[in-house]
């Protein structure tokens, strides 16, 4: 009997843990209900104006909407803790977490980098990516990267389809600009220059420090607004205005030097004298007795002194001084710029120089909420000084041409301090003393320019 009782107790002990295990193995299931939330709000820009067409998307999904003409939006999201992403061309993307809210108003911030891709064209502004090769834009950073005396230097080698060539090497000399080659046989090929909306400007008179942007319109679609005047392309220059904040004073000075890269190889005086003597000793058969032009003593003196290097006499080290002073600034209602520049460029050829004094005043003011006033005024005085060396000038006075042709055996001045003239009977008698040709002419060609542009903009 005791044996049976022990067996019953053992069976009961074994059965109890089986019940416990079975109880723990029973699974439990819970259910949750996802409830959509309607979110509303309004999107505006920096100035408080409504932004229509702004994309509003629930982050991580394709669920979204766009703002209406008043900048309002309304749509359903999956949770009150969702995150909204706001995006619009020209503005920085913004993310806003709901955190239980059902109304979210957003003020978008302008994207400065994106706005930098907007370029000026005849009809206003367009995105640069929409224009492909029709418009070339030169960033302001490239203009300021290298000190330059003239704006046309900013165009050289920086834009495709634009050919820039200095037609002469004199300081302030003429520049030829061709956009996509020659467009006319009998007519002109110069592009139209537009400075701050004023057509017919001159690039040489501009101070490079005053430039905000340069746009080059190359084909008919971009230049159509200018008609036949834009047939050779259009160069649009926009000058600077101040930015909001404290007034900024811009002062600068730079100096540059120029030298002749390489002289033409010519004979020294002693070699020239020996060669000329050989020529004079040639029997011409006319019965005259050949006689040398130079004695041995003269040749020895030429070997000692070297004679006259006419290229050294007419060329020197060119120096360019450039002074800049300006002030700019802006308030909520007013933007202004006052800038002055003085350029003094002494060329490598004797008596060649170019000076430019310029003053610019730009003003933009909000008179009322619907009227803006603007003023762009520029004064420039240029003075050119260049000896004769171009083809249209009399051949006898061309300094660059005559310097290597004059005999090194002839001095610059005679014993009385007067300019040396040709020794009768030898050397190039059809030319003048190169130093006299460079120094003596009084060649001052002052040019004055006054450009003013006054305008009113009416908003509606």
pLDDT at 317: 94
pLDDT at 126: 55
pLDDT at 122: 57
pLDDT at 282: 81
Domains and CATH numbers, the chain: 37-110 (2.60.40.1120), 114-239 (2.170.130.10)
**HEC profile of the chain:** CHHHHHHHHHHHHHHHHHHHHHHHCCCCCCCCCCCCEEEEEEEECCCCCECCCCEEEECCCCCEEECCCCCEEEEEECCCCCEEEEECCCECCEEEECCCCCECCEECCECHHHHCCEEEECCEEEEHHHCHHHEEEECHHHHHHCCCCCHHHHCCCCCCCEEEEECCCCCCCCEEEEECCCCCCCCCCCCEEEECCEECCCHHHCCHHHEEEEEEECCHHHHHHHHHHHCCCEEEEEECCCCEEEEEEEEEEEEEEECCCCCCCCCCHHHHHHHHHHHHCCCCCCCCCCCCCCCHHHHHHHHHHCCCCHHHHHECCEEEEEEEEEEEEECCCEEEEEEEEEEEEECCECCCEEEEEEEEEEEEEECCCCEEEEEEEEEEEEEEECCCCCCCCCHHHCHHHHHHHCCCCCCCECCCCCECCCCCCCCCCCCCCHHHHHHCCCCCEEEEEEEEEEEEEECC
pLDDT at 318: 92
Q: What is the pLDDT of residues 100-141, one digit of tens each?
A: 899 999 999 877 554 445 555 555 555 553 454 567 777 676
Low-confidence ranges of the chain (pLDDT < 70): 1-35, 112-134, 139, 141-142, 221-223, 283-287, 388-397, 424-430
pTM given for the model? 0.66
pLDDT at 323: 95
pLDDT at 441: 79
pLDDT at 7: 44
CB 135 within 8 A of CB 123: no
């Amino acid at each position: 009997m005791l044996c049976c009782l022990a067996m019953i107790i053992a069976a009961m002990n074994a059965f109890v843990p089986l019940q416990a295990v079975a109880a723990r193995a029973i699974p439990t299931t819970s259910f949750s209900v996802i409830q959509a939330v309607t979110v509303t709000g309004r999107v505006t820009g920096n100035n408080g104006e409504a932004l229509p067409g702004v994309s509003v998307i629930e982050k991580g999904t394709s669920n979204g909407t766009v703002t209406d003409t008043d900048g309002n939006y309304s749509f359903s999201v999956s949770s009150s803790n969702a995150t909204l992403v706001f995006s619009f061309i020209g503005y920085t993307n913004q993310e806003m977490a709901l955190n239980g809210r059902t109304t979210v108003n957003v003020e978008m911030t302008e994207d400065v980098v994106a706005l930098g891709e907007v370029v000026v064209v005849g009809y206003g502004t367009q995105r640069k990516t929409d224009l492909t090769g029709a418009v070339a834009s030169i960033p302001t950073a490239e203009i300021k990267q290298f000190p330059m005396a003239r704006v046309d230097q900013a165009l050289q080698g920086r834009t495709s389809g634009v050919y820039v060539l200095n037609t002469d090497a004199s300081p302030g000399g003429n520049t030829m600009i061709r956009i996509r080659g020659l467009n006319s046989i009998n007519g002109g090929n110069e592009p139209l220059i537009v400075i701050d909306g004023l057509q017919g400007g001159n690039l040489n008179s501009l101070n490079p420090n005053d430039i905000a942007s340069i746009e080059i319109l190359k084909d008919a679609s971009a230049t159509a607004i200018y008609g036949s005047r834009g047939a050779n392309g259009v160069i649009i220059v926009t000058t600077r205005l101040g930015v909001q904040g404290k007034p900024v004073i811009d002062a600068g000075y730079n100096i540059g030097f120029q030298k002749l890269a390489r002289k033409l190889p010519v004979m020294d005086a002693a070699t020239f004298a020996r060669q000329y003597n050989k020529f004079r000793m040639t029997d011409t058969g006319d019965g005259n007795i050949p006689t040398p032009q130079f004695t041995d003593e003269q040749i020895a003196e030429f070997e000692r002194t070297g004679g006259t290097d006419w290229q050294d006499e007419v060329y020197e080290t060119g120096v360019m001084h450039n002074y800049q002073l300006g002030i700019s600034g802006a308030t909520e209602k007013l933007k202004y710029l006052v800038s002055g520049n003085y350029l003094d460029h002494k060329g490598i050829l004797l008596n060649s120089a170019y000076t430019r004094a310029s003053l610019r005043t730009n003003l933009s003011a909000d008179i009322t909420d619907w009227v803006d006033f603007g003023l762009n005024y520029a004064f420039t005085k240029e003075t050119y000084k260049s000896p004769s060396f171009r083809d249209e000038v009399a051949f006898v006075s061309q300094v660059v041409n005559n310097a290597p042709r004059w005999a090194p055996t002839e001095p610059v001045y005679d014993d009385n301090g007067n300019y040396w003239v040709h020794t009768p009977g030898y050397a190039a008698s059809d030319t003048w003393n190169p130093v006299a040709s460079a120094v003596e002419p009084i060649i001052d060609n002052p040019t004055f320019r006054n450009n003013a542009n006054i305008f009113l903009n009416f908003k509606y």
